[in-house]
Amino acid sequence: MPTKRHAASTTSATPSTPTTPTPKPLSSGPATLKTNASAAEIAQHVWQQYATTTPQRTLLLDAFMAFLVLVGGLQFLYCVLAGNYPFNAFLSGFSAAVGQFVLTASLRMQTSDSGATSKPSSKGKNARFADEQGEEQRTGYSHERAFADYIFGSLILHFFCINFIN
Amino acid sequence: MRWCLALLVCCFLAAVNALSSSGSRLLAVLEDTEQKSVYSTLWADLEARGYDVSIESPKSEQLSLFKHGERAYDHLLILPPKSKGLGPSLTPKHILDFMNKDGNILLALSGKSPTSSAVSSLLLELDIHLANDRSAVVVDHFNYDTLSAAEKHDVLVLQRPGPLRPDVKAFFDGEGVLALPRVAPQTLGSDSTLLAPVLKAPATAYSYNPKEEMPAADDILATGSQLNIVSAMQARNSARFTVLGSVEALEDKWFSASVKTPSGEKTTTVNREFAKQLTGWAFKETGVLKVNKVEHHLATEGAELNPSIYRIKNETVYNIEVSEYVFDKWVPFEVPGEDELQLEFTMLSPFHRLNLEPTSRTETGTVFSTKFITPDQHGIFSFRVNYKRPFFTNIEEKHEVTVRHFAHDEYPRSWAISGGWVWIAGLWSVIGGFLAFVVVWLYSAPVADKVKKTQ
Amino acid sequence: MHLWQATVPFCLLAAAALPGAAASAWGFTDATVAVQHKGAGVNGGFKEQLTASKPLSKPVSIIDADTLRVTLTAQEGSSPKRPHQAFLLLKDAHTGLDISYPFTVKENGKSRVELTKKDLPIQFLSLPEPVDARVVIGGLGTSDAYDSSVFQLSIDRNPELAVPTVETDRYGKKPEIHHIFKNSPSNPPIVITLAFVAMVGAAIPVLAGLWLLLGANVSHLPTAFKSAPLPHAVFLGSLVAFEGIFFLYYTSWNLFQILPAVAIVGAVAFISGSRALGEVQGRRLAGLR
When pLDDT is averaged across residues B174-199 and rounded to a whole number, the result is: 90
When pLDDT is averaged across residues B180-203 and rounded to a whole number, the result is: 90
**A160 CA to chain B: closest CA distance, Å?**
11
Asked if residue B91 belongs to a domain, the reply is: yes
> What are residue B60's phi and psi, to 5 degrees?
-55, 135
Structure confidence by residue, pLDDT tens digits, B47-98: 999 999 999 888 888 888 998 889 999 999 999 887 777 888 888 899 999 9
Question: Rounded to whole angstroms, how far apart are CA atoms C86 and B447?
Answer: 123
Residue B224 has pLDDT above 70, yes or no: yes
**A5 CA to chain B: closest CA distance, Å?**
21
Which residues between 426 and 445 in chain B have a beta carbon less than 8 angstroms from any beta carbon of chain C? Answer: 426, 429, 431-433, 435-436, 438-440, 442-445
Asked if residue B43 belongs to a domain, the reply is: yes
pLDDT on residue C217: 85
pLDDT on residue A76: 95
When pLDDT is averaged across residues B173-184 and rounded to a whole number, the result is: 90
CB contacts of C246 in chain B (<8 Å) are: 431
Reported as type and span, the H/E element at residue A43 is helix A39-53
When pLDDT is averaged across residues A125-145 and rounded to a whole number, the result is: 57
Residues B133 and B24 in one domain: yes
- Of the pLDDT bands very low, low, confident and very high (cuts 50, 70, 90), residue B310 is very high
Single out the residue in B283, B311, B339 at which a domain terminates: B283
pLDDT on residue A130: 45
Reported as type and span, the H/E element at residue A163 is helix A143-165
pLDDT on residue C139: 84
- Chain A contact partners (≥3 CB pairs within 8 A): B, C
Q: Do the chains contact at C173 and B262, CB–CB below 8 Å? A: no
- Chain B contact partners (≥3 CB pairs within 8 A): A, C
Count of structural domains within chain A? 1
Q: Is C136 helix (H, G, I), strand (E, B) or coil?
A: strand
Residues C239 and C275 in one domain: yes
pLDDT on residue A120: 39
Note the helical H segments in C111-228: 122-125, 190-213, 220-227
Count of structural domains within chain B? 2
pLDDT top residue among C215 and C242: C242
Range(s) of the domain holding residue C212: 188-217
Residues B158 and B294 in one domain: no
Residues C202 and C253 in one domain: no
Count of structural domains within chain C? 3
Q: What is the CATH number of the domain that holds B241?
A: 3.40.50.880
Asked if residue B441 belongs to a domain, the reply is: no
Quote the Cα angle for C21-C24-C30, to 5°. 120
Residue C8 has pLDDT above 80, yes or no: no
For chain B, say whether A90 makes contact (Cβ under 8 Å): yes
For chain B, say whether A101 makes contact (Cβ under 8 Å): no
pLDDT on residue A124: 41
In terms of DSSP bridges, do strands C67-76 and C79-80 run parallel, antiparallel, or are they unpaired?
A: antiparallel
Helices C255-285 and C220-227 sit at what angle, rounded to 10 degrees?
100
Using an 8 Å Cβ cutoff, are C217 and A130 in contact? no
Asked if residue C141 belongs to a domain, the reply is: yes
For chain B, say whether C236 makes contact (Cβ under 8 Å): yes
- Chain C contact partners (≥3 CB pairs within 8 A): A, B
The proportion of chain A whose per-residue pLDDT surpasses 90, expressed as a percent, equals 40
Quote the Cα angle for A102-A103-A106, to 5°. 90
**C65 CA to chain B: closest CA distance, Å?**
22
The most confident of the ranges A73-77, B202-206, C93-97, C157-161 is: A73-77
Question: Rounded to whole angstroms, how far apart are CA atoms B172 and C21?
Answer: 36
Of C199, C204, C246, nearest to A162 by CB-CB distance is C246
- Of the pLDDT bands very low, low, confident and very high (cuts 50, 70, 90), residue A27 is very low
pLDDT on residue C149: 87
Residues C198 and C276 in one domain: no
Q: Do the chains contact at B342 and C173, CB–CB below 8 Å? A: yes
pLDDT top residue among B453 and C32: C32
Residue B422's closest chain A neighbor by CA? A75
CB contacts of A142 in chain C (<8 Å) are: 281
Asked if residue B145 belongs to a domain, the reply is: yes
Q: Which residues contact C148 (CB under 8 A, 6 or more apart)?
A: C9, C12, C13, C16, C52, C53, C55, C134, C135
Single out the residue in C156, C178, C209 at which a domain terminates: C156
For chain B, say whether A85 makes contact (Cβ under 8 Å): yes
Residues B260 and B180 in one domain: yes
Sign of the Cα torsion B251, B255, B256, B260 reads positive
Residue B306 has pLDDT above 50, yes or no: yes
For chain B, say whether C122 makes contact (Cβ under 8 Å): no
- Of the pLDDT bands very low, low, confident and very high (cuts 50, 70, 90), residue C154 is confident
Q: Do the chains contact at A74 and C199, CB–CB below 8 Å? A: yes
Asked if residue C170 belongs to a domain, the reply is: no
For chain B, say whether C200 makes contact (Cβ under 8 Å): yes
Asked if residue A105 belongs to a domain, the reply is: yes
Asked if residue C8 belongs to a domain, the reply is: no
Of A7, A66, A70, nearest to C285 by CB-CB distance is A7
Asked if residue A29 belongs to a domain, the reply is: no
Asked if residue A107 belongs to a domain, the reply is: yes
Range(s) of the domain holding residue A105: 56-113+142-165
> What are residue B162's phi and psi, to 5 degrees?
-85, -160
CB contacts of B444 in chain A (<8 Å) are: 57, 60
Of C98, C168, C178, nearest to B190 by CB-CB distance is C168
Asked if residue B420 belongs to a domain, the reply is: no
Residues B258 and B300 in one domain: no
**B119 CA to chain C: closest CA distance, Å?**
26
pLDDT on residue C40: 63
Of A7, A83, A162, nearest to C282 by CB-CB distance is A7
When pLDDT is averaged across residues B23-36 and rounded to a whole number, the result is: 86
Global pTM value: 0.76
Asked if residue B222 belongs to a domain, the reply is: yes
Structure confidence by residue, pLDDT tens digits, B241-294: 999 999 999 999 899 888 988 887 889 999 999 999 999 999 999 999 999 999
Range(s) of the domain holding residue B98: 10-283
pLDDT on residue B316: 94
Asked if residue A1 belongs to a domain, the reply is: no
Using an 8 Å Cβ cutoff, are B19 and B328 in contact? yes
Residue B339's closest chain C neighbor by CA? C173
CA-to-CA separations, B245 to B68, B115, B122, in angstroms, rounded: 33, 11, 15
pLDDT on residue A138: 52
Structure confidence by residue, pLDDT tens digits, B335-348: 998 899 999 999 99
Residues B343 and B231 in one domain: no
Structure confidence by residue, pLDDT tens digits, B93-110: 999 999 999 999 999 998
CB contacts of B440 in chain A (<8 Å) are: 60, 64
Asked if residue C133 belongs to a domain, the reply is: yes
**A138 CA to chain B: closest CA distance, Å?**
23
Beta bridge pairs of residue B357:
B369
pLDDT top residue among C9 and C163: C163
Asked if residue C3 belongs to a domain, the reply is: no
pLDDT on residue C59: 84
Residues B278 and B308 in one domain: no
Structure confidence by residue, pLDDT tens digits, C10-20: 444 444 444 44
When pLDDT is averaged across residues A20-46 and rounded to a whole number, the result is: 65
Of B424, B434, B446, nearest to A100 by CB-CB distance is B434
